[in-house]
């Protein structure tokens, strides 16, 4: 198919495309006669995009392996061809080539001066049916898992002090969230339904299902202990569902064994370690321990009220309850010690079955006949249990923050962003722009892990308290009815105050966006050579795109603010519930009309708002599968959250990288291993650059030295390097730069995700990609032209994070990289 080869210059100051620049899919010819009759310059018959120079420079074949980013890009879109051949993989992930290129290895001579294009597709690992939006309900678990990987770096490369206590504390925070989830299910099923509503004839009359399920009209199942045992099936079913879901994803992701091959052995980085992307043992162990914690929570919720009755009534079987209580305490202590120290006194499966056996014994104890026992008030132990859990979570986060601060103590503060970045345009004089990419160094001064852990706890409390209050309100209706544990009511009531807080945050962010766009308008006009007096919508669109791209740098402050709000809500709920022993509505009753009405309003709206937010969250997840724009924004956060292995919480959404990284690594090894003359360009966009870097870290230095890296729209430093500095900080990225023969990084200042990697490079010559500039190339102009030109009679779009490979400057950079490699 012929392509437009128009190269006429649009005139100075109007377009970012130089004379003679190639259009997408072409190589810029030296002269018009460089292309033969009927053949496009730089494109050989067969349809592959060209590279520069001889293929490989040593008679071998070049392969350009494309790795897409977020948004579910299809192989057809990556290769710009509907006729593809799958070369490796299965229905979930694999590599594809254009149909004419499937046997390129048998026709090496036909690809002289070219690189064979091959696309690796991993979109189905993170997409699928819209029902996957329900994974968003596990956000607290995902954030807890992220906190594990946000560990700050040591004072130097070999400093590992603080790592063990940091990881132990994160794992304890993670298991506390499992206990919180199970406790919330127990609160709803055992306290609200089986204990309070089933004992209230008016409540039973309006909810007939309680008659059958919980014996609300008396009979053998009418005793409170027996109702609790029946209701305990609900949290057990929740745990069983989570366990089965974790096991299904475990067998699909973590159990896929990586390729057995040589890996770095001399002082390897953590991400170079053998088995880093093979979490079958780790996730299996943690899943058994977390399910054990959940079963112990259910057993505790059943045992405490039954034992309290027996001790008060002087029942002869009270000693059985005491023995069972001791068993639960011992099993819980073994569990916590094993999680903290990583050394189990009992195998995890033994602990799980021991907890299951203890739950069965507690159930038999609860089923024992206790005539005359009537339920009254709230479930004994519920309020104290939630209060103890909240206090323990607060202490864990404070301890985690202290450890993280100690690990970063004495480190130099983060340097500001590179002041040399400018708004690119066709005019030479460009004002400096130091607001892009954020400061160098770890985000939140290395305290990102504790902040994220607090956010996980806040989200867990938000879901748990909101669900409990909503169910209590539905069971009560317009009549007095069941009351949730005071701490949960206080916490859910505080959600009402979260709404104005979110509105304030949105106003501050939006105001900053508008002010920054206004400040950038003169710079935009100057960069494109337009009169400073021009005031057009086009100027505003470009300035707004530049300003919006800098919102990413506000992410750390936004996370810290939300975590701070979550901490205030948790502490206020803990203090308020312990001080009054009542719900917010009851505590403010009689304190005057204004205070009383305020307390009643906050409590009434809390359950509704929480439910509305959860429904909205699920709706946002569903829309991400239908809207490309929503998928890009939501997908960025989701792909970051599910990139890392489940090292802290096994019930978190699965880690797609445990499939994708070994896939890319194995493809590079197998293709390069078949011929020592072959070379490979790993060409990655967006989140694909993170997968590409992770795969390169798994290669031995000799194989890594045959792979060039081309990244565009990369969040490697802007997001991963800042939030995960112990794994993708400057030292780790610097080693990658040292080992590969060439790394070029392309970005735009209008890109809200990608940016520079800011690595110094050795002085290896002149030209793009060499010298002390490191991998970063000059930012791409975006848009290519300000207004209408001969080359662009219709206004060109502002691409931001998209369509890098269709940008003429990309073709130039790619060809320059291949030409450079062909001479080495």
pLDDT in tens, 512-529: 899 989 988 888 888 888
Q: Which residue has the higher pLDDT, 51 or 699?
A: 699
pLDDT at 301 (0 to 100): 96
Residues 165-176 pLDDT 10s: 999 999 999 999
Report pLDDT digits (tens) over 109-134. 888 878 899 999 998 887 655 555 56
Is the Cα torsion angle 602, 608, 611, 617 positive or negative in sign?
Answer: negative
Q: What average pLDDT does this structure show over 540-552? A: 90
On the question of pLDDT at 284 being above 80, the answer is yes
Q: What is the pLDDT of residue 629?
A: 58
pLDDT value at 38 more than 50: no
E strand spans, 92-136? 94-98, 116-121
Confidence check: pLDDT of 423 > 50: yes
Instruction: Tell which wins on pLDDT, 335 or 423.
Output: 335
Q: Are 545 and 750 in contact (CB under 8 A)?
A: yes
Q: Give the per-residue SS3 of 504-530.
A: HHHHHHHHHHHHHHHHHHHHHHHHCCC
Is residue 52's pLDDT more than 90? no
Return the higher-pLDDT residue of 577 and 631.
577
Dihedral angle of Cα 184, 188, 191, 194, to the nearest 10 degrees: -140
Nearest one of 122, 21, 73 to 661, comparing CA atoms? 122
Find out whether 304 and 366 touch, Cβ atoms under 8 Å.
no
User: What is the per-residue pLDDT across 204-255, written as a single tens digit (0 to 9) for each?
Assistant: 878 776 665 666 556 677 789 999 999 999 999 999 999 988 888 777 777 7
Q: Does the pLDDT of residue 488 top 50, yes or no?
A: yes
Residue 756's pLDDT is 92
Q: Tokens 């707004």 belong to which residue?
A: 544
DSSP H stretches of helix in 342-447: 348-367, 382-408
pLDDT on residue 639: 79
DSSP symbol at 50: B
Assigned token pair, 570: 């948790």
Report which of residues 245 and 355 the model is more confident about.
355
pLDDT at 28: 35
DSSP H stretches of helix in 485-588: 486-527, 537-549, 555-580, 584-588
Q: Per residue in 634-671, pLDDT tens?
A: 666 777 888 999 999 999 988 999 999 999 999 999 99
The predicted-structure confidence for 586-615, as pLDDT tens digits, reads as follows 888 777 778 888 888 888 888 788 878 877
Instruction: Name the token pair of 251.
Output: 């067998």
pLDDT for 20: 33
Q: Mean pLDDT across the stretch 180-187?
A: 96
Q: What is the pLDDT of residue 165?
A: 94
Q: How confident is the model at residue 26 (pLDDT cuts 50, 70, 90)?
A: very low
- The string over 748-776, giving b where at least 16 C-beta atoms fall within 10 Å of a residue's C-beta and e elsewhere, is bbbbbbbbbbbbebeeeeeeebeeebbbb
Q: How far apart are CA 776 and CA 437, in angstroms?
A: 12
What is the Cα–Cα distance from 780 to 536, expressed in whole angstroms?
22
What tokens does 113 get? 């001066």
CA 504 to chain centre: 25
Q: How does residue 478 score in pLDDT terms, banded at 50, 70 and 90? A: low
Give yes or no for a contact between 461 and 492, defined as CB atoms under 8 angstroms apart. Answer: no
Return the top range by mean pLDDT from 255-264, 411-420, 531-540.
531-540
Q: Which of 52-66, 324-338, 537-551, 661-675 has the lowest mean pLDDT?
A: 52-66
- The pLDDT of residue 332 is 96
Instruction: Considering only residues 189 and 590, tell me which one the structure prediction assigns the higher pLDDT.
Output: 189
The β-bridge relationship of strands 94-98 and 84-89 is antiparallel
**CB-facing half-sphere around the CA of 425: CA atoms within 13 A:** 23
Bridge partners of 11, per DSSP, are none
State which of 94-98, 249-253, 498-502, 788-792 shows the largest mean pLDDT. 94-98
- Per-residue confidence (pLDDT) for residue 47, from 0 to 100: 36
3-state secondary structure of 13: coil
User: What string of DSSP letters covers 424-443?
Assistant: --SSS---B---SS--SS-G
Q: With 80 as the cut, is the pLDDT of residue 203 above it?
A: yes
Nearest alpha-carbon partner for 126 in 73, 66, 201, 50? 73
Please tell me the predicted confidence (pLDDT) of residue 412. 58
- Phi/psi for 14 (5° steps) reads -120, -20
Burial class (CB in 10 A: 0-12, 13-18, 19+), 428: exposed
User: Cβ distance 728 to 721 under 8 Å?
Assistant: yes
* Rounded CA separation 795/773 (Å): 33
- 791 vs 488, higher pLDDT: 488
Label the pairing between strands 743-746 and 116-121.
Answer: unpaired
Residue 410 token pair: 């004495």
- What whole-number distance in Å separates Cα of residue 796 and Cα of residue 15? 10
Determine which of 479-493, 681-695, 800-814 has the lowest per-residue pLDDT on average.
479-493
* Closest to 459 (Cα-Cα) out of 609, 566, 619, 573: 566
Least confident of 356-360, 363-367, 768-772: 768-772
Rounded Cα gap, residues 822 and 763, in angstroms: 19
Least reliable range by pLDDT among 75-89, 523-537, 718-732: 523-537
> How far is C-alpha 128 from the geometric centre of its chain's CA atoms?
17
Highest mean predicted confidence (pLDDT) among 73-77, 264-268, 714-718: 714-718
Q: What is the mean pLDDT of residues 189-202?
A: 88
- Give the C-alpha distances (Å, rounded to integers) separating 524 from 469, 546, 795, 801: 52, 9, 16, 19
Q: 232-241, 310-319, 337-346 — which is least confidently predicted? A: 310-319
Output helix, strand, coil percentages for the chain, rounded to the nearest 5. Answer: 55, 5, 35
Q: What residues does 89 pair with on adjacent strands?
A: 94
Q: What is the dihedral of CA 16, 21, 26, 31, to 10 degrees?
A: 170
Task: Report the residue count for the chain.
Answer: 824
Confidence of residue 349 (pLDDT cuts 50, 70, 90): very high
Q: Per residue, what are the HEC states of 287-333?
A: HHHHHHHHHHHHHHHHHHHHHHHHHHHCCCCHHHHHHHHHHHHHHHH
Long-range contacts of 666-671 (CB under 8 A, 24+ apart): 666/258, 666/259, 667/65, 667/88, 667/95, 667/120, 668/65, 668/695, 668/699, 668/703, 668/707, 669/259, 669/261, 669/699, 669/703, 671/63
Sheet holding 62-67: strands in order across?
84-89, 94-98, 116-121, 62-67, 679-685, 707-712, 743-746
Taking each helix axis from N to C end, the angle separating 280-313 and 224-231, rounded to the nearest 10 degrees, works out to: 170
Residue 407: partners with Cβ closer than 8 Å, 6 or more residues away = 151, 152, 153, 154, 155, 161, 162, 166, 446
**At a CB cut-off of 8 Å and minimum separation 6, what does 772 contact?**
760, 761, 762, 763
* DSSP designation for 124: G
| Neighbouring C-beta atoms of residue 47, cutoff 10 Å | 17
Residue 276 pLDDT exceeds 80 = yes
What would you report as the CA-atom Rg of the chain, rounded to the nearest whole angstrom? Answer: 30
Task: Kindly give, in sequence order, each residue whose CB lies less than 8 Å from that of residue 713, ignoring residues fewer than 6 positions away.
Answer: 69, 685, 686, 689, 746, 747, 748, 751, 753, 754, 801, 804
Average pLDDT (483-490) is: 89
Q: DSSP state, 105? A: G
Q: How far apart are CA 799 and CA 220, in angstroms?
A: 69
> Which pLDDT value is given to residue 680?
93
List residues bridging with 67 in a β-sheet: 120, 684
């Amino acid at each position: 198919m012929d392509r437009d080869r128009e190269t006429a210059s649009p005139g100075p100051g109007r377009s970012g495309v130089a004379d003679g620049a190639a259009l997408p899919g072409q190589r810029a010819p030296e002269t018009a006669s460089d292309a033969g009759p009927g053949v496009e310059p730089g494109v050989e018959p067969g349809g592959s995009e060209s590279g520069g120079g001889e293929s490989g420079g040593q008679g071998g074949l070049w392969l350009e392996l494309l790795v897409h980013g977020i948004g579910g890009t299809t192989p057809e879109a990556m290769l710009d061809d509907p006729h593809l051949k799958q070369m490796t993989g299965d229905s979930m992930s694999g590599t594809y080539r254009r149909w004419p290129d499937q046997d390129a290895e048998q026709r090496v001579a036909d690809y002289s001066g070219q690189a064979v294009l091959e696309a690796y597709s991993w979109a189905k690992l993170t997409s699928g049916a819209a029902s996957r939006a329900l994974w968003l309900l596990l956000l607290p678990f995902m954030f807890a898992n992220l906190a594990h990987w946000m560990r700050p770096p040591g004072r130097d490369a070999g400093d590992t002090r603080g790592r063990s206590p940091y990881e132990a504390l994160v794992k304890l925070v993670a298991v506390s969230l499992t206990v919180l989830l199970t406790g919330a299910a127990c609160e709803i099923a055992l306290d609200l339904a089986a204990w309070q509503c089933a004992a209230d004839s008016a409540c039973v009359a309006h909810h007939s299902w309680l008659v059958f399920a919980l014996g609300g009209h008396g009979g053998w199942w009418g005793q409170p202990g027996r109702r609790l045992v029946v209701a305990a099936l609900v949290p057990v079913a929740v745990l069983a569902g989570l366990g089965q879901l974790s096991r299904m994803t475990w067998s699909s992701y973590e159990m896929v064994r990586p390729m057995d091959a040589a890996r770095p052995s001399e002082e390897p980085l953590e991400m170079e370690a053998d088995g880093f992307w093979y979490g079958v043992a780790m996730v299996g162990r943690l899943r058994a321990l977390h399910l054990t914690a959940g079963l112990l929570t259910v057993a505790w919720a059943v045992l405490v009220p039954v034992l309290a009755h027996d001790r008060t009534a002087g029942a002869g079987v009270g000693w059985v309850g005491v023995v069972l209580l001791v068993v639960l305490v011992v099993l819980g202590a073994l569990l916590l010690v094993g999680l903290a120290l990583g050394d189990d006194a009992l195998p995890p499966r033994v602990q799980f079955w021991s907890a299951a056996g203890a739950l069965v014994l507690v159930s038999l104890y609860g089923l024992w006949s206790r005539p005359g026992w009537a339920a009254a008030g709230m479930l004994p132990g519920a309020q104290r249990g939630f209060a103890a859990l909240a206090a323990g979570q607060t202490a864990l986060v404070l301890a985690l923050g202290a450890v993280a601060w100690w690990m970063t103590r004495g480190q130099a503060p983060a340097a500001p962003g590179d002041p040399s970045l400018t708004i690119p345009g066709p005019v030479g004089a460009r004002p400096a722009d130091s607001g892009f990419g954020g400061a160098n160094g770890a985000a939140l001064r290395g305290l990102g892990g504790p902040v994220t852990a607090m956010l996980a706890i806040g989200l867990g409390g938000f879901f748990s308290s909101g669900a409990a209050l909503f169910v209590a309100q539905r069971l009560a209706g317009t009549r007095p009815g069941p009351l949730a544990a005071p701490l949960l009511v206080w916490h859910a009531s505080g959600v009402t105050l979260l709404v104005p807080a979110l509105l304030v945050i949105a106003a501050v962010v939006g105001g900053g966006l508008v002010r920054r766009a206004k400040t950038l308008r003169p710079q935009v006009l100057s960069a494109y050579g337009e009169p400073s007096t021009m005031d057009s919508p086009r100027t505003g669109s470009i300035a707004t795109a530049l300003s919006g791209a800098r919102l990413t740098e506000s992410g750390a402050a936004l996370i810290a603010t939300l975590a701070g709000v979550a901490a205030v809500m948790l502490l206020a709920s803990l203090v308020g519930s312990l001080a009054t022993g009542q719900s917010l509505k009851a505590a403010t009753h009689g304190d005057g009309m204004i205070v009383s009405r305020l307390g009643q309003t906050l409590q009434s709206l809390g359950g509704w708002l929480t439910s509305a937010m959860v429904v909205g969250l699920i709706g946002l997840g569903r829309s991400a599968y239908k809207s490309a724009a929503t998928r890009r924004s939501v997908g960025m956060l989701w792909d970051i959250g599910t990139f890392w292995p489940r090292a802290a919480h096994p019930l978190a959404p699965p880690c797609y990288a445990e499939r994708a990284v070994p896939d890319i690594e194995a493809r590079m090894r197998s293709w390069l291993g078949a011929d020592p003359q072959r070379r490979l360009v790993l060409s990655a966009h967006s989140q694909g650059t993170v997968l590409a870097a992770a795969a390169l870290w798994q290669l031995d230095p000799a194989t890594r030295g045959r792979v060039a890296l081309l990244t565009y729209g990369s969040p490697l430093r802007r997001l991963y390097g800042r939030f995960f500095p112990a794994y993708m900080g400057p030292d780790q990225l610097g080693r990658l730069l040292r080992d590969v023969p060439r790394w070029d990084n392309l970005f735009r200042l209008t890109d809200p995700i990608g940016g520079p990697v800011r690595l110094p490079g050795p002085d290896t010559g002149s030209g793009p990609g060499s010298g002390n500039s490191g991998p970063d190339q000059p930012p791409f102009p975006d848009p290519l032209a300000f207004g209408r030109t001969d080359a662009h009679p219709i206004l060109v779009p502002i691409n931001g994070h998209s369509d890098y490979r269709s940008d003429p400057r990309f073709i130039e950079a790619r060809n320059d990289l291949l030409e450079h490699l062909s001479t080495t």
